[in-house]
Every structure is written in structure tokens, then in C-alpha cells.
Amino acid sequence: MAQKEKLITLRELKINFDNHQVLKGINLDVFRGDIIGYIGPNGAGKSTTIKIILGLIEGYTGQVEVFGDRLQKGDLHYKRKIGYVPENADMYEQLPQENI
């Protein structure tokens, strides 16, 4: 049986906001074909985790890989393969310009 392709890897993902620990060491593997639910109460860090995976939040510790690209190394080519629809559709005055 062939090994499934790993799409997302999180290892010991942690982040604090204003001396409050929001993520306390998340470990997660998502493989091609998996359907997962990421649930928890308001303030549990679900949106924060997704925004870290998307490269929208920095200042975390731990390892984040998407399609084998490590975010910590600045590998952002994975962004061409994903889409994100946020809970609230905010308008930004200026979007960052990245050459990916």
C-alpha cells in the first residue's frame, strides 16, 4: 500500500499574545484525502492556527510545513496551491507584495 502524501505538518506549534499562551504545542499531520474538523471554543486558537499555516501570522515557535515547504525558511510557494475564505471579509488598504 502506497504511503499517503503529507500536506500539513505542525510540530510543537506555540504562540503567545500579550503574555497569554494561545497555542500550547499543537501537533498535527494532514494527509492527502483526509477530511478533518478543527473544533474548539471561541479563543481556543483555531483561527490563529489557520492564519499561521497561511503565513499571515509570525512570532510563533515550532515547525510548520505545508506541501513540504517550511514556513520558517520563507518557502511560500505553497500559497499558489491553496485558497482561504475567512470568517469575516475584511478589506485591506494595502496587500503585501510578494514574489512567489
Going along 1-100, which residue ranges are E strands? 6-17, 20-31, 61-66, 69-70
Does residue 90 lie in a domain region? Answer: no
Return the percentage of the chain with pLDDT > 90, whole number.
Answer: 53
What's the whole-model pTM score?
A: 0.79
CATH code for the domain in which residue 59 is found: 3.40.50.300
Does residue 91 lie in a domain region? Answer: no
The number of distinct structural domains making up the chain is 1
Residue range 61-66: mean pLDDT, rounded: 94
Using CA atoms, how far apart are residues 76 and 73, in angstroms rounded to an integer? 9
Domain housing 22: 6-81
